[in-house]
């Protein structure tokens, strides 16, 4: 009996352990789920400033790692100034649980900061004197070093910027510290120290000789900016193409407060002797929509010829549009080949969706060809050429033509013709010409810079082909470069290019660094700004090779740096491991008990 009670006790203890372990696993699930963003409170908070009538003065994003107070990441002070009005704080705290606050509150003393634990609201009341009437005040506009810049008695006339001699000052965040109740100190700092809208240059440098291959730019508009440079890109002119591979990291994270205005990204020139493998991309296109529906990659090694056997069927789960496809007859049973020395790292394979009336018919489509005046971007002539699926079509571009009584010549660096395949995503060709009497462009050469591959290291690693191609006019005499257009894989513009010169030949001396006019998105008003969620709960602008991320369609869809985190996978497994351990403990205990019972019977 004692032996049986012993075994039963062992089983009972194992059972208790199992139950406790399961309870622990269940209780832990919300914690791990919170780390993945699927539940818990990982969403960003909002800190709101409002007046005593409920009108919003300002709102700021924050998360659980932020702090509030005079020294917090979100600055909360006893006074607030907006639109020429001074406000005093009256209460604040977690939304719905605000407490009374004033200038004497410990939470608002210099250097104080508290953790943000949820949405918070701070209420301010317009400043008045003891009688309840608005105080007649003198406003001293001063530099932060105490230099008096100007004096105002009407607070509505206090400017956001002040000129003093050759310097320009902008309103500072420094609070009023006047001891005189009838004087308000309004502080200013030099505008170049506070201006949150400016342009930053990125130079792509040849690692061998330090020369500038090309330049890009991005605009900072009061938000953090992430600039992603290509891992591979190529430069083509006069039938010659040179490839470049990035040396080191290709991502720049630029905060608004950062003072750097020029970055350098180093690249190594690729040739048949470089010996470094690269990715060859096979893009799957729909015969129906001429859109990318998927992709595959092949690693190409030095001295080898890579081969790719095309898939005959794409299931609905393998395509971006969720449709089922079969290989187009022109690609059936084909094996694609790619030599290491080939400069074009992209191949296209076309598929027919279910129900597509295709394969035996000869298909036709129109290609738009436009002749553009390099001087002002106007279209001088345009024509449409019909191509068929029966074979390649030669597209020719004249060396010269007359329009409006002016004789135009084709700008150097452009091909006189191209062999066009019906199975190509490109449907727009732009060729640049100049007035033969305009001497400015006689020494100009057209180059085309094409992104071959971009590597994005966010929470998840992406490899994408944005298909960005820039057309650049370069003056061979003085090195001045002018970006004419940026286009996607179809040849259509993906952004509007402002006129502006780039001087890549001179990168030293004052006022002579390389500069480029940025590419702005049509209709968004955001300059070069694409948007993506930032990991810190706020937002940021994102550009890929200087083009807004939101404007770039890739085989994977729009670029999103905040996709599902890799760490979430292991986090979700942990509760299952604990639960499994509990079950295993229970099973082991039961097995021990059975073994002991069996031995007892044999011994007896």
Angle between helices 2-36 and 567-603 (to 10 degrees): 170
> Distance (Å, rounded) from C-alpha 203 to C-alpha 217?
8
Q: Give CA–CA dist 346/351, Å, rounded.
A: 16
How does pLDDT run across 19-33, given as a tens digit for each residue? 444 444 434 333 333
In the predicted structure, residue 588 carries a pLDDT above the cut 70: no
What mean pLDDT is predicted for residues 481-510?
Answer: 56
Least confident piece of the model among 232-236, 246-250, 293-297, 411-415: 293-297
Residue 441's SS3 state is: helix
- 103 CB contacts (<8 Å, ≥6 apart)? 78, 79, 88, 89
- Confidence label for 402 from pLDDT (cuts 50, 70 and 90): very high
Return all residues near 104 (Cβ < 8 A) that are at least 6 apart. Answer: none
Total-model pTM: 0.55
What integer is the mean pLDDT of 208-213? 92
- Per mean pLDDT, which range of 10-14, 379-383, 431-435, 561-565 is the poorest? 561-565
pLDDT band at 134 (very low <50, low <70, confident <90, very high): low
Going 531 to 533 to 535 to 536, the CA torsion angle's sign is positive
DSSP state of 340: T
| Phi, psi (rounded to 5 degrees) for 194 | -120, -10
Q: Which residue has the higher pLDDT, 557 or 289?
A: 289
Flag whether pLDDT at 86 surpasses 60. yes
Of 15-24, 211-220, 252-261, the least confident: 15-24
Query: Is residue 36 over pLDDT 50?
Result: no
Is the pLDDT at 40 greater than 70? The verdict is no
Among 224, 111, 174, which residue's Cα sits nearest to residue 532? Answer: 224
When comparing pLDDT for 519 and 282, which is higher? 282
Residue 362: strand, helix, or coil: coil
Cα torsion angle, 169, 174, 175, 181, sign: negative
pLDDT, position 18:
47
The burial of 88, by beta-carbon neighbours within 10 Å (0-12 exposed, 13-18 middle, 19 or more buried), is given as middle
pLDDT for the residue 214? 92
Q: Point out the least confidently predicted range of 163-167, 278-282, 331-335, 543-547.
A: 163-167
pLDDT tens readout for residues 336-370: 999 988 878 888 999 999 888 655 577 888 999 99
């Amino acid at each position: 009996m004692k032996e049986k009670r012993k075994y039963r006790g062992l089983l009972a203890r194992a059972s208790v352990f199992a139950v406790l372990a399961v309870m622990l696993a269940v209780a832990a699930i919300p914690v791990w789920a919170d780390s993945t963003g699927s539940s818990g409170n990982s969403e960003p908070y909002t800190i709101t400033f409002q007046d005593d009538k409920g009108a919003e003065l300002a709102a700021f994003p924050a998360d659980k790692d932020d702090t509030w107070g005079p020294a917090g990441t979100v600055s909360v002070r006893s006074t607030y100034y907006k639109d020429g009005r001074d406000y005093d704080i009256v209460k604040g705290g977690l939304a719905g649980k605000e407490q009374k606050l004033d200038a004497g509150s410990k939470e608002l003393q210099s250097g104080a900061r508290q953790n943000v634990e949820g949405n918070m609201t701070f209420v301010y009341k317009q400043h008045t004197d003891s009688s309840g009437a608005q105080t007649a005040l003198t406003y001293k506009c001063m530099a932060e070093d105490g230099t008096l810049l100007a004096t105002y008695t009407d607070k509505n006339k206090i400017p956001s910027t002040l000129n003093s001699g050759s310097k320009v000052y902008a309103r500072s965040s420094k609070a009023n510290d006047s001891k005189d109740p009838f004087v308000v100190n309004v502080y200013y700092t030099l505008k170049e120290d506070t201006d949150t809208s400016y342009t930053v240059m990125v130079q792509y440098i040849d690692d061998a000789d330090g020369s500038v291959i090309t330049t890009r730019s991005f605009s900072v508009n009061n938000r953090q900016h992430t600039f992603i440079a290509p891992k591979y890109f190529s430069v083509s002119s006069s039938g010659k193409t040179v490839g470049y591979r990035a040396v080191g990291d290709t991502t720049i994270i630029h905060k608004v407060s950062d003072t750097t205005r020029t970055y350098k990204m180093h690249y190594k020139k690729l040739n048949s002797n470089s010996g470094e493998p690269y990715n060859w991309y096979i893009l799957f296109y729909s015969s129906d929509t001429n859109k990318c529906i998927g992709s595959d990659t092949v690693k190409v090694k030095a001295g080898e010829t890579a081969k790719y056997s095309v898939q005959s069927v794409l299931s609905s789960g393998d395509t971006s549009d969720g449709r089922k496809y079969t290989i187009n007859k022109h690609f059936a049973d084909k094996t694609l080949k790619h030599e290491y020395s080939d400069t074009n790292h992209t191949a296209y394979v076309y598929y027919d969706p279910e129900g597509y009336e295709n394969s035996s018919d000869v298909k036709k489509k129109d290609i738009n060809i436009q002749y553009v005046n390099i001087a002002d971007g106007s279209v001088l002539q345009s024509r449409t050429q019909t191509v068929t699926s029966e074979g390649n079509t030669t597209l020719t571009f004249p060396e010269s033509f007359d329009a409006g009584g002016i004789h135009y010549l084709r700008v150097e660096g452009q091909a006189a013709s191209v062999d066009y395949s019906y199975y190509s995503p490109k449907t727009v060709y732009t060729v640049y010409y100049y007035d033969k009497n305009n001497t400015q462009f006689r020494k100009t050469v057209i180059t085309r810079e094409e992104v071959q591959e971009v590597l994005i290291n966010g929470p998840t690693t992406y490899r994408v082909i944005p298909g960005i191609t820039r057309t650049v006019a370069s003056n061979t005499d003085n090195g001045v470069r002018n970006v004419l257009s940026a286009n996607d894989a179809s040849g259509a513009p993906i952004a509007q290019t402002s006129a502006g010169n780039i001087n890549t030949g001179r990168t030293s001396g004052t006022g002579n660094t390389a500069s480029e006019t940025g590419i702005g998105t049509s209709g968004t008003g955001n300059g070069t700004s694409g948007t993506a969620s930032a990991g810190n709960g706020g937002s940021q602008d994102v550009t890929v090779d200087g083009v807004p991320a939101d404007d770039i369609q890739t085989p994977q869809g729009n670029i999103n740096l905040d996709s599902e985190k890799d760490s979430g996978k292991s986090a979700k497994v942990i509760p299952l491991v604990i639960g499994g351990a509990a079950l295993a403990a229970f099973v082991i205990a039961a097995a021990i008990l059975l073994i002991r019972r069996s031995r007892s019977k044999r011994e007896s």
